[in-house]
Amino acid sequence: MAFDKKGVARRRFGRRKGCRFCADSEISIDYKDVRTLKYFVSERGKIVPRRISGNCANHQRKITEAIKRARNIALISFTSKRTIE
Amino acid sequence: MRTYESIFIIRPQIAGDEYTALLGKYKQILADQSAEILRCQEWGTKRLPYLVKKQDQGTFVLINFNAGNTVVKEFERRLRLDDAIMQFQTVLLEGGLDLSEKEEVAPNTDTDADEDDSEQDEEQD
């Protein structure tokens, strides 16, 4: 049992909780707004999961769609640029 | 009538008169089909995050218009046939277009692009 507790404790590190789009209705999700989208994309270019970004289901879905649109029209990259080793 | 937003990337080699002619041509295609052009933004030439048609740069143009769905079909067909167009994407704006708000957003996207350029340069080094 102690082992389980340890696992739980390790996962708790400082993450912002709550959906920032629900908190502030002023922010809109737009696929052209690269600066906002970058926040929800890892360095590798992957979409950050909801458990880490803290978004609600509705906004995460919108963010995902926006990121995919931005990738499609070459506003953000599909992956980070890496040379083949 | 629906509101659409179309972005297309033109080859960076096309500039000056050729570029304005191309832009005029596509505006005309929309106008001929009685589409109402709400906004046309030229974002200029930007560095692309990945190669598109073996190019690492491209000139972005954003056009918003009110039209029916058949207009989009024809517009995209014409874009697809044109060698000068590297990539395009048309998106339906469900809530329509709020011009007053969007105009403020536009300059920001430009500055973003500039910053992105510098970031990418660093990555490449």
Q: What is the DSSP string of B55-103?
A: EEEEEEEEEEEEE-HHHHHHHHHHHHH-TTEEEEEEEEETT---HHHHH
Choose the closest CB to A74 out of B87, B91, B105. B87
For residue A20, the model assigns a pLDDT of 87
- Give the pair of three-digit tokens for residue B32: 């001929």
ipTM of the complex: 0.73
For residue A4, the model assigns a pLDDT of 54
For residue B114, the model assigns a pLDDT of 43
For residue B78, the model assigns a pLDDT of 93
For residue B120, the model assigns a pLDDT of 43
Choose the closest CB to B87 out of A32, A73, A80. A73
Task: Determine the average pLDDT of the residues in A1-16.
Answer: 52
**Digit-coded pLDDT (tens) for A41-85:** 998 889 999 999 889 999 999 999 999 999 999 999 998 765 444
Contact list in B for residue A27 (CB cut-off 8 A) is: none
Q: A18-85, superfamily in CATH?
A: Ribosomal protein S18 (4.10.640.10)
For residue A85, the model assigns a pLDDT of 47
* Side-by-side strand order, sheet with B2-10: B36-52, B55-67, B2-10, B85-93
Could you give the CA distance from residue B79 to residue A30 in angstroms, rounded to a whole number? 24
- Does B113 contact A at CB distance below 8 Å? yes
For residue B87, the model assigns a pLDDT of 93
Which band of pLDDT confidence, cut at 50, 70 and 90, is reported for residue A26? confident
Torsion-angle region of B98 (φ positive above 0: left; ψ -120 to 50: alpha; else: beta)? beta
The full set of domain ranges for chain A reads 18-85
Could you give the CA distance from residue A24 to residue A56 in angstroms, rounded to a whole number? 13
**Digit-coded pLDDT (tens) for A10-24:** 555 555 678 888 888
Please identify every stretch of chain B with a pLDDT value under 50, giving residue numbers as ranges.
102, 104-125
- Does B116 contact A at CB distance below 8 Å? yes
Contact list in B for residue A31 (CB cut-off 8 A) is: 91
Could you give all domains of chain B from N- to C-terminal order, each with its CATH number? 2-124 (3.30.70.60)
- The pTM of the whole model exceeds 0.80: no
- Does B97 contact A at CB distance below 8 Å? no
Contact list in B for residue A32 (CB cut-off 8 A) is: 7, 62, 105, 109
